[in-house]
Amino acid sequence: MTEGNFSLDVFEAIGSQLSRSEVLEYLAAVEGSASHPIASALVSAAKNEGIDVKKAYLDGREHTNIEGLGVSAIVRGLTIHAGNIKLFQRLRLYDDLSSSVLQETEKWKSQGGSLGFISVSGYGIVGYYSVSDKIRSEAKSVVSALRKSGITVCMLTGDNNEAAQMIGEQIGIDSDSIKSSLLPQEKLDIIRKMKEDYGKVHRFRRGLVLMCGDGVNDSPALATADVGVSMGKGAALALESSDITLMDSNLEKLLYSLDIGNRVRMVILQNIIFSVVAKAVVAGLVFAGLGSLWLAICKCSYYV
Could you state, in order of their start, the residue ranges of all structural domains in the chain?
A: 7-132, 139-257, 261-303
Predicted confidence (pLDDT) per residue in 121-150, tens digit: 999 999 999 998 888 889 999 999 999 988
Q: What is the mean pLDDT of residues 216-220?
A: 82
pTM of the model: 0.76
CATH homologous superfamily for the domain 139-257: HAD superfamily/HAD-like (3.40.50.1000)
Average pLDDT value for residue range 187-198? 89
- What whole-number distance in Å separates Cα of residue 100 and Cα of residue 121? 22
- The arithmetic mean of pLDDT across residues 76-94, rounded, is 92
CB 230 within 8 A of CB 242: yes
CA 42, distance to chain mean position in Å, is: 20
The pLDDT value given to residue 236: 65
Position 241 pLDDT exceeds 80? no
Q: Give which of 250, 256, 255, 223 is closest to 234, Cα–Cα.
A: 250
Mean pLDDT highest for which of 34-38, 274-278, 293-297?
Answer: 274-278
CATH superfamily to which 7-132 belongs: Calcium-transporting ATPase, cytoplasmic domain N (3.40.1110.10)
More confident residue, 278 or 71: 71
**Mean pLDDT rounded to a whole number for the chain:** 85
Q: Give the pLDDT confidence score for residue 233 in this predicted structure.
A: 67
pLDDT confidence of residue 304: 44
Q: Which residues is 229 bridged to in the sheet? A: 212, 244
